[in-house]
Protein backbone atom coordinates (compact mmCIF):
# COMPACT_ATOMS: atom_id res chain seq x y z
CA UNK A 1 0.00 0.00 0.00
CA UNK A 2 1.68 3.26 -1.07
CA UNK A 3 2.00 6.07 1.45
CA UNK A 4 0.96 9.65 0.84
CA UNK A 5 4.58 10.40 0.06
CA UNK A 6 4.48 7.74 -2.64
CA UNK A 7 1.40 9.33 -4.10
CA UNK A 8 3.16 12.66 -4.28
CA UNK A 9 6.20 11.24 -5.99
CA UNK A 10 6.88 9.38 -9.19
CA UNK A 11 6.67 6.12 -7.24
CA UNK A 12 2.97 5.89 -7.93
CA UNK A 13 3.49 6.05 -11.68
CA UNK A 14 6.33 3.53 -11.51
CA UNK A 15 4.19 1.15 -9.47
CA UNK A 16 1.31 1.52 -11.91
CA UNK A 17 3.59 0.83 -14.86
CA UNK A 18 4.78 -2.41 -13.25
CA UNK A 19 1.21 -3.53 -12.60
CA UNK A 20 0.20 -2.81 -16.20
CA UNK A 21 3.29 -4.60 -17.52
CA UNK A 22 2.48 -7.63 -15.38
CA UNK A 23 -1.08 -7.61 -16.73
CA UNK A 24 0.13 -7.30 -20.31
CA UNK A 25 -1.73 -4.02 -20.84
CA UNK A 26 -0.34 -1.07 -22.76
CA UNK A 27 -2.02 2.19 -21.76
CA UNK A 28 -1.64 4.77 -24.56
CA UNK A 29 0.46 7.76 -23.55
CA UNK A 30 -2.32 10.28 -24.05
CA UNK A 31 -4.52 8.42 -21.54
CA UNK A 32 -1.84 7.95 -18.92
CA UNK A 33 -2.57 11.02 -16.80
CA UNK A 34 -6.30 10.21 -16.60
CA UNK A 35 -5.71 6.58 -15.68
CA UNK A 36 -3.08 7.51 -13.08
CA UNK A 37 -5.51 9.95 -11.45
CA UNK A 38 -8.09 7.14 -11.32
CA UNK A 39 -5.48 4.83 -9.80
CA UNK A 40 -4.62 7.33 -7.07
CA UNK A 41 -8.32 7.76 -6.26
CA UNK A 42 -8.84 3.98 -6.15
CA UNK A 43 -5.85 3.54 -3.82
CA UNK A 44 -7.38 6.07 -1.45
CA UNK A 45 -10.53 3.96 -1.32
CA UNK A 46 -8.59 0.70 -0.91
CA UNK A 47 -6.79 2.20 2.08
CA UNK A 48 -10.13 2.47 3.88
CA UNK A 49 -10.50 -1.31 3.74
CA UNK A 50 -7.13 -2.24 5.21
CA UNK A 51 -6.18 -2.83 8.87
CA UNK A 52 -9.85 -2.95 9.74
CA UNK A 53 -10.60 -6.62 10.32
CA UNK A 54 -9.47 -9.42 12.63
CA UNK A 55 -8.76 -12.97 11.50
CA UNK A 56 -12.23 -13.93 12.69
CA UNK A 57 -13.90 -11.52 10.25
CA UNK A 58 -14.73 -13.67 7.24
CA UNK A 59 -15.69 -12.46 3.75
CA UNK A 60 -19.34 -12.11 2.81
CA UNK A 61 -19.25 -14.91 0.25
CA UNK A 62 -17.46 -17.60 2.22
CA UNK A 63 -17.38 -20.99 0.48
CA UNK A 64 -20.14 -23.40 1.40
CA UNK A 65 -20.49 -26.93 0.06
CA UNK A 66 -24.16 -27.57 -0.50
CA UNK A 67 -24.99 -30.62 -2.62
CA UNK A 68 -28.06 -29.93 -4.70
CA UNK A 69 -30.28 -32.17 -6.79
CA UNK A 70 -27.76 -34.95 -6.62
CA UNK A 71 -25.17 -32.95 -8.60
CA UNK B 1 -57.19 8.40 -27.62
CA UNK B 2 -53.72 9.81 -26.77
CA UNK B 3 -51.95 6.72 -25.53
CA UNK B 4 -48.61 8.34 -24.62
CA UNK B 5 -49.52 8.97 -21.00
CA UNK B 6 -51.53 5.82 -20.23
CA UNK B 7 -50.06 3.84 -17.35
CA UNK B 8 -49.52 0.11 -17.72
CA UNK B 9 -52.67 -0.50 -15.66
CA UNK B 10 -54.67 1.96 -17.76
CA UNK B 11 -53.43 0.36 -20.99
CA UNK B 12 -54.45 -3.00 -19.59
CA UNK B 13 -57.99 -1.82 -18.83
CA UNK B 14 -58.31 -0.19 -22.26
CA UNK B 15 -57.10 -3.36 -23.98
CA UNK B 16 -59.65 -5.43 -22.15
CA UNK B 17 -62.63 -3.11 -22.65
CA UNK B 18 -61.79 -2.89 -26.34
CA UNK B 19 -61.18 0.88 -26.42
CA UNK B 20 -57.65 0.35 -27.72
CA UNK B 21 -55.69 -2.48 -29.32
CA UNK B 22 -52.12 -3.51 -28.71
CA UNK B 23 -51.49 -2.77 -32.36
CA UNK B 24 -52.62 0.83 -31.80
CA UNK B 25 -50.48 1.18 -28.65
CA UNK B 26 -47.52 -0.22 -30.57
CA UNK B 27 -47.94 1.95 -33.66
CA UNK B 28 -48.35 5.02 -31.44
CA UNK B 29 -45.17 4.16 -29.54
CA UNK B 30 -43.23 3.49 -32.74
CA UNK B 31 -44.48 6.83 -34.04
CA UNK B 32 -43.18 8.64 -30.96
CA UNK B 33 -39.83 6.89 -31.32
CA UNK B 34 -39.63 7.92 -34.98
CA UNK B 35 -40.51 11.51 -34.14
CA UNK B 36 -38.20 12.00 -31.18
CA UNK B 37 -35.28 9.63 -31.14
CA UNK B 38 -33.09 11.31 -33.76
CA UNK B 39 -32.16 13.97 -31.21
CA UNK B 40 -32.19 11.78 -28.10
CA UNK B 41 -30.50 8.51 -29.17
CA UNK B 42 -32.39 6.24 -26.77
CA UNK B 43 -32.59 3.30 -29.21
CA UNK B 44 -29.70 1.41 -30.80
CA UNK B 45 -32.12 -0.92 -32.61
CA UNK B 46 -35.84 -0.63 -33.34
CA UNK B 47 -37.53 -4.02 -33.77
CA UNK B 48 -40.57 -2.77 -35.69
CA UNK B 49 -41.54 -6.07 -37.32
CA UNK B 50 -41.15 -7.98 -34.09
CA UNK B 51 -43.20 -5.36 -32.24
CA UNK B 52 -46.07 -5.50 -34.70
CA UNK B 53 -46.03 -9.31 -34.62
CA UNK B 54 -46.06 -9.28 -30.80
CA UNK B 55 -48.97 -6.81 -30.84
CA UNK B 56 -50.92 -8.87 -33.38
CA UNK B 57 -50.50 -11.95 -31.21
CA UNK B 58 -51.59 -10.04 -28.10
CA UNK B 59 -54.74 -8.76 -29.80
CA UNK B 60 -55.59 -12.14 -31.26
CA UNK B 61 -55.20 -13.84 -27.91
CA UNK B 62 -57.39 -11.31 -26.08
CA UNK B 63 -60.08 -11.79 -28.72
CA UNK B 64 -59.81 -15.52 -28.02
CA UNK B 65 -60.08 -14.88 -24.25
CA UNK B 66 -56.43 -15.82 -23.70
CA UNK B 67 -55.17 -13.32 -21.12
CA UNK B 68 -51.53 -13.46 -20.10
CA UNK B 69 -51.92 -10.97 -17.28
CA UNK B 70 -51.09 -7.31 -16.59
CA UNK B 71 -48.31 -7.02 -19.17
CA UNK B 72 -50.38 -8.46 -22.02
CA UNK B 73 -50.09 -6.20 -25.06
CA UNK B 74 -47.86 -3.61 -23.37
CA UNK B 75 -44.96 -2.08 -25.37
CA UNK B 76 -41.53 -2.05 -23.70
CA UNK B 77 -37.84 -1.94 -24.58
CA UNK B 78 -34.66 -3.59 -23.29
CA UNK B 79 -31.24 -2.24 -22.38
CA UNK B 80 -28.84 -3.66 -24.94
CA UNK B 81 -27.12 -6.01 -22.51
CA UNK B 82 -30.18 -8.30 -22.34
CA UNK B 83 -29.83 -11.21 -24.76
CA UNK B 84 -32.64 -11.41 -27.29
CA UNK B 85 -32.86 -14.49 -29.49
CA UNK B 86 -32.02 -13.63 -33.07
CA UNK B 87 -31.80 -9.91 -32.30
CA UNK B 88 -28.43 -8.10 -32.15
CA UNK B 89 -27.25 -7.47 -28.59
CA UNK B 90 -24.14 -5.26 -28.51
CA UNK B 91 -23.54 -3.98 -24.98
CA UNK B 92 -23.11 -0.68 -26.90
CA UNK B 93 -19.62 -1.90 -27.79
CA UNK B 94 -17.53 -2.50 -30.88
CA UNK B 95 -16.43 -5.74 -29.23
CA UNK B 96 -19.92 -7.27 -29.54
CA UNK B 97 -21.26 -5.31 -32.49
CA UNK B 98 -22.16 -8.48 -34.45
CA UNK B 99 -23.41 -10.54 -31.51
CA UNK B 100 -26.69 -12.31 -32.27
CA UNK B 101 -27.76 -14.37 -29.24
CA UNK B 102 -29.12 -17.85 -29.77
CA UNK B 103 -31.46 -17.58 -26.78
CA UNK B 104 -33.42 -14.99 -24.85
CA UNK B 105 -32.32 -13.78 -21.46
CA UNK B 106 -34.70 -14.94 -18.74
CA UNK B 107 -36.10 -11.42 -18.45
CA UNK B 108 -36.75 -11.16 -22.20
CA UNK B 109 -38.37 -14.58 -22.19
CA UNK B 110 -40.61 -13.70 -19.22
CA UNK B 111 -41.75 -10.45 -20.82
CA UNK B 112 -42.56 -12.30 -24.04
CA UNK B 113 -44.41 -15.01 -22.14
CA UNK B 114 -46.34 -12.26 -20.32
CA UNK B 115 -47.56 -10.90 -23.66
CA UNK B 116 -45.26 -7.85 -23.87
CA UNK B 117 -44.40 -6.07 -27.10
CA UNK B 118 -40.67 -5.55 -27.73
CA UNK B 119 -40.05 -2.19 -29.41
CA UNK B 120 -36.27 -2.45 -29.52
CA UNK B 121 -32.90 -2.34 -27.78
CA UNK B 122 -31.69 0.66 -25.85
CA UNK B 123 -28.45 2.58 -25.46
CA UNK B 124 -26.27 1.89 -22.44
CA UNK B 125 -22.90 2.95 -21.20
CA UNK B 126 -20.50 0.44 -22.79
CA UNK B 127 -20.67 -2.88 -20.93
CA UNK B 128 -22.89 -1.08 -18.38
CA UNK B 129 -19.99 1.06 -17.16
CA UNK B 130 -18.14 3.19 -19.73
CA UNK B 131 -19.91 6.42 -20.56
CA UNK B 132 -21.28 8.74 -21.59
CA UNK B 133 -18.97 8.35 -24.59
CA UNK B 134 -18.76 9.71 -28.11
CA UNK B 135 -16.25 7.12 -29.38
CA UNK B 136 -18.59 4.10 -29.37
CA UNK B 137 -20.63 2.55 -32.22
CA UNK B 138 -23.72 4.53 -31.14
CA UNK B 139 -24.03 8.04 -29.70
CA UNK B 140 -24.87 8.51 -26.01
CA UNK B 141 -28.50 8.94 -25.02
CA UNK B 142 -29.46 12.47 -24.02
CA UNK B 143 -31.60 13.72 -21.16
CA UNK B 144 -35.04 14.75 -22.47
CA UNK B 145 -35.33 17.40 -19.75
CA UNK B 146 -32.30 19.17 -21.26
CA UNK B 147 -30.36 17.53 -24.05
CA UNK B 148 -27.12 19.24 -22.99
CA UNK B 149 -27.26 17.13 -19.82
CA UNK B 150 -26.49 13.45 -19.28
CA UNK B 151 -29.08 10.88 -18.33
CA UNK B 152 -26.83 9.17 -15.82
CA UNK B 153 -25.82 5.60 -16.43
CA UNK B 154 -25.58 3.03 -17.30
CA UNK B 155 -29.26 2.45 -18.23
CA UNK B 156 -29.16 5.66 -20.24
CA UNK B 157 -31.36 4.76 -23.20
CA UNK B 158 -33.94 3.20 -20.89
CA UNK B 159 -34.28 6.48 -18.98
CA UNK B 160 -34.39 8.58 -22.15
CA UNK B 161 -37.04 6.43 -23.83
CA UNK B 162 -39.39 6.60 -20.84
CA UNK B 163 -38.76 10.22 -19.95
CA UNK B 164 -39.44 11.25 -23.56
CA UNK B 165 -42.76 9.33 -23.38
CA UNK B 166 -41.75 6.85 -26.09
CA UNK B 167 -42.49 3.89 -23.84
CA UNK B 168 -43.87 3.44 -20.34
CA UNK B 169 -41.36 0.85 -19.05
CA UNK B 170 -37.88 -0.24 -20.06
CA UNK B 171 -35.51 -2.68 -18.46
CA UNK B 172 -32.26 -1.52 -16.89
CA UNK B 173 -29.58 -3.16 -14.85
CA UNK B 174 -28.01 -1.88 -11.64
CA UNK B 175 -24.49 -2.74 -10.43
CA UNK B 176 -23.72 0.50 -8.61
CA UNK B 177 -26.82 2.54 -9.35
CA UNK B 178 -27.44 2.09 -13.08
CA UNK B 179 -31.22 1.92 -12.66
CA UNK B 180 -31.67 4.38 -9.79
CA UNK B 181 -29.23 7.01 -11.06
CA UNK B 182 -30.82 7.51 -14.49
CA UNK B 183 -34.26 7.30 -12.87
CA UNK B 184 -33.32 10.13 -10.49
CA UNK B 185 -31.82 12.31 -13.21
CA UNK B 186 -34.66 11.78 -15.70
CA UNK B 187 -37.64 12.04 -13.34
CA UNK B 188 -38.60 8.35 -13.27
CA UNK B 189 -39.27 5.52 -10.88
CA UNK B 190 -36.62 2.81 -10.90
CA UNK B 191 -36.18 -0.18 -8.63
CA UNK B 192 -33.16 -2.33 -7.93
CA UNK B 193 -34.83 -5.40 -6.43
CA UNK B 194 -33.22 -7.56 -3.75
CA UNK B 195 -30.12 -9.40 -4.99
CA UNK B 196 -31.35 -12.72 -6.34
CA UNK B 197 -34.95 -11.59 -6.88
CA UNK B 198 -34.76 -11.36 -10.70
CA UNK B 199 -32.72 -13.78 -12.78
CA UNK B 200 -29.55 -12.35 -14.31
CA UNK B 201 -29.21 -15.22 -16.77
CA UNK B 202 -28.63 -14.00 -20.30
CA UNK B 203 -27.63 -10.50 -19.21
CA UNK B 204 -24.00 -9.57 -19.91
CA UNK B 205 -22.35 -9.29 -16.48
CA UNK B 206 -20.48 -6.28 -15.15
CA UNK B 207 -19.89 -7.68 -11.67
CA UNK B 208 -21.52 -10.98 -10.78
CA UNK B 209 -22.08 -10.29 -7.09
CA UNK B 210 -23.36 -6.72 -7.57
CA UNK B 211 -25.49 -7.07 -10.72
CA UNK B 212 -29.26 -6.66 -10.41
CA UNK B 213 -31.98 -6.57 -13.10
CA UNK B 214 -34.97 -4.27 -12.75
CA UNK B 215 -37.34 -1.85 -14.47
CA UNK B 216 -37.39 1.90 -14.95
CA UNK B 217 -40.85 3.36 -15.50
CA UNK B 218 -42.95 6.50 -15.46
CA UNK B 219 -44.63 5.58 -12.16
CA UNK B 220 -44.14 3.44 -9.08
CA UNK B 221 -47.18 1.37 -10.04
CA UNK B 222 -45.69 0.62 -13.47
CA UNK B 223 -42.56 -0.74 -11.78
CA UNK B 224 -44.59 -2.78 -9.28
CA UNK B 225 -46.58 -4.40 -12.08
CA UNK B 226 -43.43 -5.16 -14.05
CA UNK B 227 -41.54 -6.65 -11.12
CA UNK B 228 -44.48 -8.93 -10.47
CA UNK B 229 -43.93 -10.35 -13.95
CA UNK B 230 -40.17 -10.72 -13.57
CA UNK B 231 -39.57 -11.84 -9.99
CA UNK B 232 -39.05 -15.49 -9.18
CA UNK B 233 -36.56 -18.26 -8.66
CA UNK B 234 -34.33 -19.40 -11.51
CA UNK B 235 -32.46 -22.59 -10.56
CA UNK B 236 -30.01 -21.97 -13.40
CA UNK B 237 -28.88 -18.60 -11.96
CA UNK B 238 -26.48 -19.33 -9.11
CA UNK B 239 -27.50 -16.15 -7.28
CA UNK B 240 -31.24 -16.58 -7.70
CA UNK B 241 -33.15 -16.75 -4.43
CA UNK B 242 -35.91 -19.29 -3.85
CA UNK B 243 -38.10 -16.85 -1.91
CA UNK B 244 -41.86 -16.48 -2.50
CA UNK B 245 -42.92 -13.52 -4.65
CA UNK B 246 -45.51 -11.28 -3.07
CA UNK B 247 -48.24 -9.12 -4.57
CA UNK B 248 -46.51 -5.81 -5.28
CA UNK B 249 -49.64 -3.90 -6.28
CA UNK B 250 -52.31 -4.54 -3.66
CA UNK B 251 -50.60 -2.56 -0.86
CA UNK B 252 -49.41 0.32 -3.03
CA UNK B 253 -51.92 2.83 -1.69
CA UNK B 254 -51.95 1.77 1.96
CA UNK B 255 -49.91 4.82 2.96
CA UNK B 256 -47.25 5.08 5.64
CA UNK B 257 -49.27 5.55 8.83
CA UNK B 258 -47.39 4.08 11.79
CA UNK B 259 -44.42 3.06 9.67
CA UNK B 260 -40.93 3.84 10.92
CA UNK B 261 -38.49 5.37 8.46
CA UNK B 262 -34.80 6.02 9.12
CA UNK B 263 -32.61 8.62 7.41
CA UNK B 264 -28.83 7.92 7.32
CA UNK B 265 -28.22 11.64 7.24
CA UNK B 266 -24.43 11.49 7.36
CA UNK B 267 -24.49 9.81 3.93
CA UNK B 268 -25.32 13.14 2.30
CA UNK B 269 -25.35 15.98 4.86
CA UNK B 270 -22.25 18.11 4.62
CA UNK B 271 -21.17 16.66 1.28
CA UNK B 272 -19.59 19.39 -0.85
CA UNK B 273 -21.30 17.82 -3.87
CA UNK B 274 -24.83 18.01 -2.44
CA UNK B 275 -26.97 20.83 -3.79
CA UNK B 276 -29.50 22.80 -1.77
CA UNK B 277 -32.27 21.53 -4.06
CA UNK B 278 -31.45 17.90 -3.31
CA UNK B 279 -31.13 18.43 0.45
CA UNK B 280 -34.40 20.36 0.50
CA UNK B 281 -36.06 17.54 -1.43
CA UNK B 282 -35.08 15.00 1.21
CA UNK B 283 -36.24 17.21 4.08
CA UNK B 284 -39.50 18.00 2.32
CA UNK B 285 -40.10 14.28 1.72
CA UNK B 286 -39.39 13.50 5.39
CA UNK B 287 -41.88 16.16 6.49
CA UNK B 288 -44.52 14.82 4.09
CA UNK B 289 -44.06 11.27 5.37
CA UNK B 290 -44.39 12.54 8.96
CA UNK B 291 -47.57 14.38 8.05
CA UNK B 292 -48.89 11.10 6.59
CA UNK B 293 -48.40 9.38 9.93
CA UNK B 294 -44.92 7.87 9.73
CA UNK B 295 -42.20 8.22 12.34
CA UNK B 296 -39.13 9.59 10.55
CA UNK B 297 -35.83 9.77 12.42
CA UNK B 298 -32.16 10.21 11.67
CA UNK B 299 -30.08 7.07 12.07
CA UNK B 300 -26.38 6.25 11.99
CA UNK B 301 -24.85 3.80 9.53
CA UNK B 302 -21.16 3.17 8.83
CA UNK B 303 -19.39 5.86 6.80
CA UNK B 304 -20.65 6.20 3.24
CA UNK B 305 -17.03 6.13 2.06
CA UNK B 306 -16.66 2.56 3.30
CA UNK B 307 -19.69 1.41 1.30
CA UNK B 308 -18.35 3.18 -1.79
CA UNK B 309 -14.86 1.71 -1.38
CA UNK B 310 -16.13 -1.84 -0.97
CA UNK B 311 -18.44 -1.47 -3.94
CA UNK B 312 -15.80 -0.06 -6.25
CA UNK B 313 -13.18 -2.67 -5.38
CA UNK B 314 -15.61 -5.57 -5.80
CA UNK B 315 -16.93 -4.18 -9.07
CA UNK B 316 -13.53 -3.39 -10.58
CA UNK B 317 -12.04 -6.74 -9.59
CA UNK B 318 -14.94 -8.79 -10.95
CA UNK B 319 -15.25 -6.69 -14.12
CA UNK B 320 -11.54 -7.05 -14.79
CA UNK B 321 -11.81 -10.83 -14.46
CA UNK B 322 -14.50 -10.74 -17.16
CA UNK B 323 -12.58 -8.44 -19.51
CA UNK B 324 -9.00 -9.50 -18.75
CA UNK B 325 -8.19 -11.06 -22.13
CA UNK B 326 -9.81 -8.24 -24.12
CA UNK B 327 -8.05 -5.62 -21.97
CA UNK B 328 -4.76 -7.20 -22.98
CA UNK B 329 -5.52 -7.84 -26.65
CA UNK B 330 -8.21 -5.33 -27.72
CA UNK B 331 -7.83 -2.36 -25.39
CA UNK B 332 -8.25 0.16 -28.19
CA UNK B 333 -11.54 -1.44 -29.32
CA UNK B 334 -13.14 -0.29 -26.07
CA UNK B 335 -14.27 3.30 -25.68
CA UNK B 336 -11.68 5.43 -23.92
CA UNK B 337 -13.76 5.93 -20.78
CA UNK B 338 -14.51 2.20 -20.52
CA UNK B 339 -10.88 1.20 -20.98
CA UNK B 340 -9.64 3.81 -18.50
CA UNK B 341 -12.01 2.42 -15.86
CA UNK B 342 -11.57 -1.30 -16.53
CA UNK B 343 -7.73 -1.28 -16.53
CA UNK B 344 -7.78 -0.21 -12.89
CA UNK B 345 -8.99 -3.69 -12.05
CA UNK B 346 -5.52 -4.98 -12.90
CA UNK B 347 -4.16 -2.95 -9.97
CA UNK B 348 -6.38 -4.55 -7.33
CA UNK B 349 -4.62 -7.12 -5.13
CA UNK B 350 -6.29 -10.28 -3.85
CA UNK B 351 -6.26 -8.91 -0.30
CA UNK B 352 -8.01 -5.72 -1.49
CA UNK B 353 -10.86 -7.78 -2.94
CA UNK B 354 -11.12 -10.01 0.12
CA UNK B 355 -11.10 -7.04 2.47
CA UNK B 356 -13.90 -5.51 0.40
CA UNK B 357 -15.87 -8.73 0.90
CA UNK B 358 -15.19 -8.56 4.64
CA UNK B 359 -16.49 -4.99 4.59
CA UNK B 360 -19.51 -6.23 2.70
CA UNK B 361 -20.42 -8.52 5.56
CA UNK B 362 -19.96 -5.73 8.13
CA UNK B 363 -22.02 -3.27 6.09
CA UNK B 364 -24.80 -5.72 5.31
CA UNK B 365 -25.11 -6.55 9.02
CA UNK B 366 -25.30 -2.83 9.80
CA UNK B 367 -28.08 -2.15 7.28
CA UNK B 368 -29.97 -5.25 8.40
CA UNK B 369 -29.66 -3.98 11.97
CA UNK B 370 -31.14 -0.62 11.02
CA UNK B 371 -33.96 -2.30 9.11
CA UNK B 372 -34.71 -4.37 12.17
CA UNK B 373 -35.77 -1.11 13.81
CA UNK B 374 -37.21 0.67 10.76
CA UNK B 375 -39.56 -0.40 7.97
CA UNK B 376 -37.61 1.53 5.35
CA UNK B 377 -34.77 4.00 4.88
CA UNK B 378 -34.94 7.36 3.10
CA UNK B 379 -31.80 8.84 1.55
CA UNK B 380 -30.53 10.60 -1.55
CA UNK B 381 -30.42 8.93 -4.94
CA UNK B 382 -27.95 11.50 -6.26
CA UNK B 383 -26.43 14.53 -4.59
CA UNK B 384 -27.10 16.86 -7.51
CA UNK B 385 -29.27 17.03 -10.62
CA UNK B 386 -27.92 15.71 -13.94
CA UNK B 387 -24.72 17.51 -15.00
CA UNK B 388 -23.87 18.53 -18.53
CA UNK B 389 -21.89 16.14 -20.70
CA UNK B 390 -18.80 18.31 -20.16
CA UNK B 391 -19.14 18.19 -16.35
CA UNK B 392 -19.87 14.46 -16.07
CA UNK B 393 -17.51 12.49 -13.79
CA UNK B 394 -16.67 8.82 -13.18
CA UNK B 395 -19.65 7.40 -11.31
CA UNK B 396 -17.32 5.23 -9.20
CA UNK B 397 -14.84 7.95 -8.20
CA UNK B 398 -14.72 8.84 -4.53
CA UNK B 399 -16.27 12.24 -5.28
CA UNK B 400 -19.07 10.87 -7.49
CA UNK B 401 -22.54 12.31 -6.87
CA UNK B 402 -24.47 9.01 -6.89
CA UNK B 403 -25.54 7.59 -3.52
CA UNK B 404 -26.74 4.25 -4.78
CA UNK B 405 -23.87 1.77 -4.45
CA UNK B 406 -24.36 0.96 -0.73
CA UNK B 407 -27.38 -1.18 -1.56
CA UNK B 408 -25.60 -3.04 -4.34
CA UNK B 409 -22.99 -3.94 -1.74
CA UNK B 410 -25.62 -5.10 0.75
CA UNK B 411 -28.19 -6.40 -1.76
CA UNK B 412 -31.19 -4.64 -0.17
CA UNK B 413 -34.07 -3.55 -2.44
CA UNK B 414 -33.88 0.16 -3.25
CA UNK B 415 -35.94 2.49 -5.40
CA UNK B 416 -35.45 5.99 -6.73
CA UNK B 417 -38.62 8.05 -6.95
CA UNK B 418 -38.90 11.65 -8.23
CA UNK B 419 -39.88 14.41 -5.81
CA UNK B 420 -39.57 17.62 -7.82
CA UNK B 421 -37.51 19.83 -10.07
CA UNK B 422 -34.36 21.78 -9.30
CA UNK B 423 -34.03 25.50 -9.86
CA UNK B 424 -32.67 24.57 -13.31
CA UNK B 425 -35.83 22.50 -13.99
CA UNK B 426 -34.02 19.17 -13.82
CA UNK B 427 -35.55 16.25 -11.89
CA UNK B 428 -34.58 15.36 -8.32
CA UNK B 429 -35.20 11.97 -6.76
CA UNK B 430 -34.96 10.33 -3.36
CA UNK B 431 -34.11 6.73 -2.56
CA UNK B 432 -36.26 4.32 -0.52
CA UNK B 433 -34.59 1.18 0.84
CA UNK B 434 -36.29 -1.88 2.30
CA UNK B 435 -35.67 -5.19 4.01
CA UNK B 436 -34.45 -8.13 1.93
CA UNK B 437 -37.23 -9.39 -0.37
CA UNK B 438 -39.68 -6.81 0.96
CA UNK B 439 -40.06 -4.94 -2.32
CA UNK B 440 -43.76 -4.52 -1.49
CA UNK B 441 -42.83 -2.12 1.34
CA UNK B 442 -40.40 -0.24 -0.91
CA UNK B 443 -43.17 0.23 -3.47
CA UNK B 444 -45.67 1.26 -0.79
CA UNK B 445 -43.44 3.96 0.69
CA UNK B 446 -42.30 5.09 -2.77
CA UNK B 447 -45.89 5.35 -3.97
CA UNK B 448 -46.69 7.53 -0.96
CA UNK B 449 -43.71 9.76 -1.74
CA UNK B 450 -44.77 9.96 -5.38
CA UNK B 451 -48.27 11.03 -4.35
CA UNK B 452 -47.30 13.52 -1.64
CA UNK B 453 -44.57 15.18 -3.70
CA UNK B 454 -47.04 16.21 -6.38
CA UNK B 455 -44.76 14.70 -9.02
CA UNK B 456 -47.71 13.27 -10.92
CA UNK B 457 -48.79 16.80 -11.83
CA UNK B 458 -45.37 17.69 -13.26
CA UNK B 459 -45.59 17.53 -17.05
CA UNK B 460 -42.90 15.38 -18.64
CA UNK B 461 -40.67 16.99 -21.28
CA UNK B 462 -42.40 17.17 -24.66
CB within 8 Å: A23 and B346: yes
In the structure, what pLDDT confidence band is assigned to residue A6 with cuts at 50, 70 and 90?
low
Average pLDDT over residues A44-70: 88
| pLDDT-above-70 percentage for chain B | 100
Please state the domain extents for chain A: 4-49
How distant is the alpha carbon of residue B107 from its chain centre? 14
* Strand order through the sheet with B427-433: B43-46, B117-122, B75-79, B169-174, B212-217, B189-192, B414-421, B427-433, B376-380, B260-263, B295-298
Smallest Cβ distance to A38: which of B336, B344, B351?
A: B344
Q: What is the ipTM of this complex?
A: 0.94
Please report, for residues B40, B268, B400, the alpha-carbon distance to residue B150 in angstroms, rounded to integers and kept in the order given: 11, 22, 14
State residue B428's pLDDT score: 98
Most A CBs within 10 Å, among B196, B311, B355, to test the A interface = B355
Q: pTM of this prediction?
A: 0.96
State residue B351's pLDDT score: 97
State residue B460's pLDDT score: 84
State residue A5's pLDDT score: 56
Residue A7, pLDDT above cutoff 70: no
State residue B393's pLDDT score: 83
Helix (H/G/I), strand (E/B), else coil: A8: helix
Most B CBs within 10 Å, among A45, A54, A66, to test the B interface = A45
Helix (H/G/I), strand (E/B), else coil: B269: coil
State residue B293's pLDDT score: 98
Domains and CATH numbers, chain B: 8-230 (3.90.1300.10)
State residue B130's pLDDT score: 86
Residue A2, pLDDT above cutoff 70: no
| pLDDT-above-90 percentage for chain B | 96
Reported as a single tens digit per residue, the pLDDT across B215-240 is: 999 999 999 999 999 999 999 999 99
Regions of chain B where pLDDT drops below 50 = none
CA distance B19 to chain A (A): 49
State residue B162's pLDDT score: 98
From CA B191, how far away is CA B179, in angstroms rounded? 7
In the structure, what pLDDT confidence band is assigned to residue A67 with cuts at 50, 70 and 90?
confident
Residue A4, pLDDT above cutoff 60: no
Residue partners of A30: CB distance under 8 A and separation at least 6: none
Amino acid sequence: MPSSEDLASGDLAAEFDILMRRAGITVPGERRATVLAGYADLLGQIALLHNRYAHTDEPANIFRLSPRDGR
Amino acid sequence: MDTADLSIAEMGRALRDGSVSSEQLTKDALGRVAAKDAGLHAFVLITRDRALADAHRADSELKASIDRGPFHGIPYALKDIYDTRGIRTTCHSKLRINNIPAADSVVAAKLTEAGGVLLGKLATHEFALGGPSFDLPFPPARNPWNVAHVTGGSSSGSATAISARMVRMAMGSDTGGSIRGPAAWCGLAGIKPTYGRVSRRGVFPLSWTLDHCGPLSRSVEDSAITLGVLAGHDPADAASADVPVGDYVSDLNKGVSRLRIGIPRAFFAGSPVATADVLAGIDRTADQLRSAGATVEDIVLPDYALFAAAGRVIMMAEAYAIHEADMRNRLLDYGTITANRFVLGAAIMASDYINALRARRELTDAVNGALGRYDALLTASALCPAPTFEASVDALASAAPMQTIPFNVTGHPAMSVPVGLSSDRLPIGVQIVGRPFDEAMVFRVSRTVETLSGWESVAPPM
